């Protein structure tokens, strides 16, 4: 039945596009994945690899026999090679570059000058370009040949290759032959700078409503265009990275990454967490004497720590989003801190009362109720301060608050929570 199932999978995917095929391959355990991979026609293999996540494509790349690469690289262009370069061994990148035509090789070289977090790395080079003094008839001649897919603009450049204006195809088709194209320039087209961050550039294109926008370097030379498909991919990747980062993972992580690699990739995050956990334990250890005498404190410790952690992560999440949108700045930092402190104080008082009463009744000890109430209030207020301050400071240090924010925040709320609870307990209950 195992083999029959594989037959079904292979049949199922035969008619699909590279993107869906990539999703299916990623969802298969490695052994089955290799079976389906073997059935994909050689000419389609590179397109499928291009759509897959980094970790997921590696076993497939390893499975391609050395002599097949020539066939796989038959049609390879600069954009594909840029996407695959990190997953391919150097000698294969060089082999691909050798079989590419000169123009594509140049595009690859140009794009490689930009880091992969800059939009200049991810350009589409299929452009309609005309000199600045061209007329409608020149454009019509160009358009009679071949129009690249999803192209709605003709770009005008000066003699030095600098971008000067964009014209809509629909305007060209509706205008008289002799009209200079510059007269039709669409003033709403704002070129994107090649060193802009991918996510910002993608958001810019998506909200512009244009199907693609010109991309220029710092001297206004036209380098290529950013198209929608790329922008959509870059945006999904950005958000996926944020979600995965909250668990200390990489968006390239494969569902079926081999056990050893997977364990290794997660170990770092577990290790960092372990250090913070031992730190919290060390603080608890300072109060061993108290714990021995009032064991109820040990029982209630998780309540104090977890309420602080949750309250802090709510503030943190709000501020991280605000930072990503450019909405948290020096100008409103104080106002934000004041508001979050007020929210923390209000929720702190409410939950302090609730938890204080429950604890006092549970252990028939009103003093214990008072101790935990005070600790909860202090910890929720501390969580609000840390929830605003930690991501803002990380951002100023150019560190990703989505990645390291939560681990630092939890350390703060754990330690403040335990020290407040056990410290106040020592003062009042002994």
Report the side by side order of strands in the sheet with 192-193.
192-193, 212-216, 222-227
Q: Of the two residues 92 and 312, which places its CB atom closer to a copy of itself in the complex?
A: 312
CA distances 221 to 62, 162, 192, 200, 339, Å, are 39, 4, 11, 20, 46
d(CA 33, CA 47): 16
Q: Of the two residues 68 and 362, which places its CB atom closer to a copy of itself in the complex?
A: 362
Q: Which of 43, 71, 115, 174 binds a copy of itself (CB under 8 A)?
A: 174
**Binders in 5-64 for a copy of itself, by CB under 8 A:** 5, 19, 23, 26-29
Q: Which of 266, 393, 395, 423 binds a copy of itself (CB under 8 A)?
A: 266
Name the 3-class secondary structure at 203: helix
**Binders in 127-166 for a copy of itself, by CB under 8 A:** 143-144, 147, 149-152
Asked whether position 169 contacts a copy of itself by CB under 8 A, the answer is: yes
Write the binding mask 73 to 112 for a copy of itself: x where contact by CB under 8 A, - elsewhere. Answer: ----------------------------------------
Q: Of the two residues 355 and 408, which places its CB atom closer to a copy of itself in the complex?
A: 355
- Specify whether the CB–CB gap between 140 and 176 falls below 8 A: no
Asked whether position 328 contacts a copy of itself by CB under 8 A, the answer is: yes
Long-range CB pairs of 138-141, under 8 A, 24+ apart, other chains included? 138/181, 139/167, 139/172, 139/181, 140/172, 140/173, 140/177
The separation between CA 413 and the C-alpha centre of its own chain, rounded to angstroms, equals 27
Smallest gap from Cβ 157 to a copy of itself, in A, equals: 21
Neighbouring C-beta atoms of residue 352, cutoff 10 Å: 22
Q: Single out the residue of 303, 328, 429 nearest to residue 388, CA to CA.
A: 328
**Binders in 391-410 for a copy of itself, by CB under 8 A:** 410
Q: Of the two residues 14 and 361, which places its CB atom closer to a copy of itself in the complex?
A: 361
Smallest gap from Cβ 161 to a copy of itself, in A, equals: 25
Name the 3-class secondary structure at 147: coil
Asked whether position 190 contacts a copy of itself by CB under 8 A, the answer is: no
d(CA 72, CA 24): 20
Q: Of the two residues 23 and 97, which places its CB atom closer to a copy of itself in the complex?
A: 23
Q: Of the two residues 217 and 365, which places its CB atom closer to a copy of itself in the complex?
A: 365
Of 74-82, 109-117, 157-165, 284-292, the window that binds a copy of itself (rule: CB under 8 A) is 284-292
Neighbouring C-beta atoms of residue 404, cutoff 10 Å: 17
Name the 3-class secondary structure at 410: helix
Structural tokens at position 296: 């109820």
d(CA 102, CA 6): 42
Q: Of the two residues 63 and 263, which places its CB atom closer to a copy of itself in the complex?
A: 263
Which residue has tokens 């690699």? 261
Q: Which of 84, 223, 307, 408 binds a copy of itself (CB under 8 A)?
A: 307
Asked whether position 361 contacts a copy of itself by CB under 8 A, the answer is: no
Q: Which of 195, 317, 365, 423 binds a copy of itself (CB under 8 A)?
A: 317
Name the 3-class secondary structure at 373: helix
**Binders in 205-244 for a copy of itself, by CB under 8 A:** 206-211, 227-229, 231-233, 235-236, 239-240, 242-244
Asked whether position 270 contacts a copy of itself by CB under 8 A, the answer is: yes
């Amino acid at each position: 039945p195992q083999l029959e199932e594989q037959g079904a999978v292979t049949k199922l995917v035969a008619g699909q596009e590279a993107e869906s095929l990539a999703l299916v391959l990623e969802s298969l355990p490695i052994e089955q994945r290799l079976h389906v991979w073997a059935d994909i026609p050689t000419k389609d293999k590179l397109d499928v690899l291009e759509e897959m996540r980094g970790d997921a494509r590696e076993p497939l790349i390893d499975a391609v026999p050395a002599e097949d690469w020539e066939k796989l690289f038959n049609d390879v262009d600069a954009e594909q090679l840029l996407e695959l370069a990190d997953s391919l061994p150097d000698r294969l990148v060089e082999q691909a570059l050798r079989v590419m035509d000169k123009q594509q090789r140049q595009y690859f070289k140009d794009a490689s000058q930009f880091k992969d977090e800059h939009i200049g790395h991810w350009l589409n080079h299929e452009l309609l370009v005309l000199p600045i003094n061209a007329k409608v008839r020149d454009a019509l001649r160009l358009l009679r040949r071949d129009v690249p897919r999803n192209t709605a603009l003709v770009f005008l450049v000066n003699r030095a290759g600098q971008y000067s204006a964009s014209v809509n195809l629909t305007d060209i088709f509706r205008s008289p032959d002799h009209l200079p194209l510059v007269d039709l320039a669409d003033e709403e087209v704002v070129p994107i700078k090649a060193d802009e961050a991918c996510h910002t550039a993608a958001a810019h294109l998506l909200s512009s409503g244009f199907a693609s926008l010109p991309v220029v370097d710092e001297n206004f030379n036209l380098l290529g265009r950013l198209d929608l498909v790329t922008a959509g991919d870059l945006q999904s990747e950005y958000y996926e990275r944020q979600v995965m980062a909250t668990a200390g993972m990489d968006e390239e992580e494969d569902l079926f990454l081999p056990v050893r690699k997977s364990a290794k990739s997660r170990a770092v995050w577990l290790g960092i967490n372990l250090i913070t956990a031992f730190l919290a334990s060390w603080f608890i250890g300072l109060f061993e004497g108290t714990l021995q005498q009032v064991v109820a404190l040990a029982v209630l410790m998780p309540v104090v720590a977890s309420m602080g952690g949750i309250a802090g992560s709510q503030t943190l999440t709000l501020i991280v989003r605000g930072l990503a949108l450019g909405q948290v700045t020096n100008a409103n930092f104080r106002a934000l801190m004041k508001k979050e402190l007020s929210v923390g104080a209000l929720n702190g008082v409410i939950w302090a009362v609730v938890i204080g009463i429950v604890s006092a009744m549970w252990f028939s000890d009103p003093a214990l109720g008072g101790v935990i109430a005070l600790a909860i209030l202090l910890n929720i207020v501390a969580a609000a301060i840390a929830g605003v301050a930690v991501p803002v400071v990380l951002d100023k240090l150019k560190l990703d608050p989505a990645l390291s924010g939560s681990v630092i925040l939890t350390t703060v709320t754990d330690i403040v929570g335990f020290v407040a609870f056990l410290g106040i307990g020592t003062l009042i209950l002994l």
